[in-house]
Structure formats: C-alpha cells, structure tokens
Amino acid sequence: MIRAAVIASRSRGDVCMKCILGRDLARMLVLIVALSACATNPDSSTATQPERRSSPAELMRRGDYIAARNALESLSSRDFSAEMMLAQVALKLNDADAAESAALRAQTLADGDSEKLYQSNLALGEASLANDSAEKALSAFTTARKLAPGMHERDRAIVCCARAELMRGGVAAARRLRDEILRSDIPELPDLDRRLARHAAAPRTGASSNVARPVAATNGSGRRPSGKGIPPPAWVARSSWGARPIKLRNEPDPIGTITRITVHHTADPNGVPGASLLENVARVKAYQAAHQDDKRWADIGYHFVIDRQGRIFEGRELCWQGAHAGNEKANLHNVGIAVMGNFDRIKPTDAQQRSLEKLMEWLIAEYSLQRSAVAGHDDVRRTSTGSGTKCPGKNLDALLEKWKRAR
C-alpha cells in the first residue's frame, strides 16, 4: 500500500509525499485497531444494545418492591393483573392507601368476572386490615366468600373474615368461623390458629366439650310429620351440635308426605373425616354454613348426616323439604341422608353402615315406604335432571343395592 502511494505521488507533482504517507499510515492504524477489537469481541454488534429491563413480576420475585412499583406506575395503562400486582407491592411497602386504591381500580376492571371480583375483594380486604379498618375488611372478605369459585377459595375467605373479626374484637365470631373451615391447607390458617390461641382465656361458643352425646330421638319441636313404626335410632339433635336457626325468609317448603329417601356422600375435599365428636360437630356446622351463606339456602340441605363413627346428626328438620337432590322436583317429599366421606376412594365403616341401615329402616317403617323408595343421589338426579353425579360413590352405592335386595 505504501509503495503504491509513493508511485502515485511521483505521477502527481502537486501532492506532497509526506502528506500521502501520513494519511495512509493513519488509515492503516485505524484498520489495525478495528481488526483487534473484532478479534477480542466477536459479537461486537451486541455491545451497543441496551440492557433488557426486568418486568414488574420479576422485580417482585427478587424482592425489589420499589423498582416494581416504579415499573408498574410508569405503564401508560394498567389492566386488572397490573392493578392487582400494584396492590400487592403497595402492601409490601406498607402503603395501605395505595393498596386500597389499586384494589378498587382492579374491581372496576374485573368487568363482572366473579373470579376477578373474588381476588380484588380479597386484596381490598387486606388493604383495609392494613389500614386498621376492620369493618371495611370484613365487608370485602364476606363478599369474596360469596364469590369464591371453589371450596379452597371459600375457606381462604373465611379465614380472612375470622382475622377481621379478631381485629374488631369478635373472638367468639372468629371461633365460629374457624369451625366452618373444611380444608386444612389454607396458607393463612396457621396464623389464624396462633391468634386464636392467644385468646384461649376468652369464653368459647359453639362446639365445646359439653356437646351432648347421641340420645334417643324425640319429636323435638313437634313439627315433624306424624308417623308410625319402630323407635327411631339415637341421634345428635340440632340443639346439641349448635345448629343455626333455619332462615324462614328463604321460604322453605313443607316436606309434606314423605315418599322417598336419597343417600349421598359428602365427598369432603381434605381427606378422611375426623374421629372425635368435636371434629365432626365442627364439620356439620361447616356444611350448614356453606349451604346457608354460600348457596343461600334456608338451612343445611340434608335431613341427616352420619359420621365415620356411626353418629347420626339431625340436619334440616323433617317438617321441611330438603335441598340435596338436584332441583325442586327431585327434592319433593324426599328425605336426604349424607354419609361423611368420599366413597369413590374409601369404603364406609361398619359403624356407618349399621347406622345408615337403622336410619333407613326406621324411616321406611315410620312413613310406610318400601325399600325401593331408597336410591343413591346419582339415580335420583339422572331421573329428575337428565345428568348424573358420582354421588354417593361406587362403594356406598354397592352397599345400598345389596341392602335393597336383602329382603
């Protein structure tokens, strides 16, 4: 290159030799530096690219809540998920007012979606608790409970309601709510139990050690339809397990002439039901609460519930039509018996089987029925609605068919 420059300079008398050499040497130096840079940085194109910005969710996972809030607030518009995330971030930063505002905005973006409304009401309740507003929190959590899409979500909302009750001084109400919880895998449940333990000295209402043992059944209120036949089996009366009163404003219908019996399983979501009387009193109370509060029924849907120790609990009084078989037509003149357990997975205990048979035999004699009047829930539902159900489970269904053929 240098030699070529010299030859060219000789042909052009107007060009200075030194200028040409200096210029070409400079070009060579630039070329050498560039080649050296490429050799040490083969992907030199990425050197000038800006660093990728972390998403708000990533920042939250790293615990960088200030950066996450800044990222969320810098968005030109926020959807439901972004507002919910902003509410969570604000709570982490102890900014309850901002959390409440974000939860309220999320509610307006829910667009009537019940699951989103459930989530935003939980967020609003948490923000209200952080703001020491127990009444507002209880209202939001109660709304969430009504909107809960499943049992797990319902029980989580109940735990939150109990926390709000504790904040407003309602220890007894919080304990009643605790008794309504069916699942044991709610993340907030251990904290609630610790809080309740600190109030152990306070008087307890609801299930307690003086719950009556099963005794011979009587007519109780006297409203039960008259019948005839063998003495009834012993059962735990409504007054003994602490049943709530029936909600007459929901206009339950009289059962009228009893013509059939439907057997169910409870299909509890959290494993095999407990063994103690207190555990199962709490479970029956939870059934009643779910039916009255979540389903808006007048009372517990079943007339009787049988635990795994064979104890029979009086449910809805026999003078009232139940809410258990599928629709009004299916419930008409129909006694509902629920047996605790999921009998697609396990078998009824011998004690459950004996108590169920005694109860069915008494009902048959009392109301002059035939064994053919007894059916599992699946059979009744298919007849009345055209769609089936797994209830009462294959193992209990097999026992029913065997019992019906016995005589």
pLDDT: which is higher, 211 or 368: 368
Give me 393's structure tokens.
């489970």
pLDDT tens digits for 330-351? 888 999 999 999 988 889 999 9
Regarding whether 321 and 221 lie in a shared domain, the answer is: yes
361 and 298 fall within a common domain = yes
Note whether 76 and 144 are same-domain residues: yes
Can you give the pLDDT at residue 291? 92
pLDDT tens-digit readout, 166-185? 887 788 888 888 887 877 78
Q: Which of 257, 267, 283 minimizes the C-alpha distance to 367?
A: 257
Cα–Cα distance measured from residue 179 to residue 217, given in angstroms and rounded to the nearest whole number: 25
**Out of 79-83, 203-207, 246-250, 377-381, least confident range:** 203-207
Share of the chain above pLDDT 90, in %: 27
Task: Say if residue 223 is in the same domain as residue 193.
Answer: no
- At 390, the pLDDT band (50, 70, 90 cuts) reads confident
- Tokens 């397990």 — which residue? 241
Residue 197, both tokens: 């333990």
Q: How many CA atoms lie within 13 A of 24 on its CB side?
A: 14
Do residues 248 and 368 both lie within one domain?
Answer: yes
Top-confidence range, 119-128, 140-149, 208-217:
119-128
Q: Is residue 88 part of a domain?
A: yes
Tell me if 143 sits within 8 A of 114, measured CB to CB. Answer: no
Q: Are residues 240 and 372 in the same domain?
A: yes
Higher pLDDT pick, 107 / 219: 107
95 and 170 part of one domain:
yes
87-101, 131-145, 227-241: segment of lowest average pLDDT: 227-241
Digit-coded pLDDT (tens) for 268-317: 876 677 788 988 999 999 999 999 988 888 899 999 999 999 999 999 98
Per-residue pLDDT, 378: 82
Which pLDDT score is estimated for 117?
93
Give domain status of residue 50, yes or no.
Answer: no
Domain count, the chain: 3
Check whether 372 has a pLDDT greater than 60.
Answer: yes
Task: Give the pLDDT score at 335.
Answer: 94
| Of 61-75, 205-219, 263-277, highest mean pLDDT | 61-75
What pLDDT, on the 0 to 100 scale, is given for residue 224?
Answer: 45
Query: 263 CB contacts (<8 Å, ≥6 apart)?
Result: 337, 338, 339, 356, 360, 374, 375, 376, 377, 392, 396, 400
Predicted confidence (pLDDT) per residue in 96-143, tens digit: 899 999 999 999 999 889 899 999 999 999 999 888 888 888 889 988
Among 17-31, 233-247, 347-361, the range scoring the smallest mean pLDDT is 17-31
Q: Are 264 and 163 in contact (CB under 8 A)?
A: no
Which stretches of 269-345 are DSSP H helices?
Answer: 277-289, 328-331
Do both 223 and 368 map to the same domain?
yes
For residue 104, give the 3-state DSSP assignment: helix
In a domain, 108, yes or no: yes
234 and 259 housed in the same domain: yes
The domain spanning residue 298 has which CATH number? Answer: 3.40.80.10
- What CATH number does residue 69 fall under? 1.25.40.10
Residue 46 covered by a domain = no
Got the DSSP string for 386-399? S----TT-HHHHHH
Average pLDDT, the chain: 79
Q: Is the pLDDT of residue 230 over 60?
A: yes
Mean pLDDT within 356-384: 87
% of residues, the chain, pLDDT over 70? 77
pLDDT on residue 26: 57
Average pLDDT over residues 18-41: 53
More confidently predicted of 7 and 327: 327
Same domain membership, residue 251 and residue 149: no
DSSP at 97: H
| 203 located within any domain | no
Residues 224, 179 share a domain: no
Q: How confident is the model at residue 200 (pLDDT cuts 50, 70, 90)?
A: low
Specify the range with the lowest mean pLDDT, choosing from 119-123, 325-329, 352-356: 325-329
Domain extent, residue 22, equals 1-33
Q: Provide mean pLDDT across the span 387-397.
A: 84
Q: Give the lowest-confidence range in 25-39, 47-61, 177-191, 370-384.
A: 25-39
260 and 194, same domain (yes or no):
no
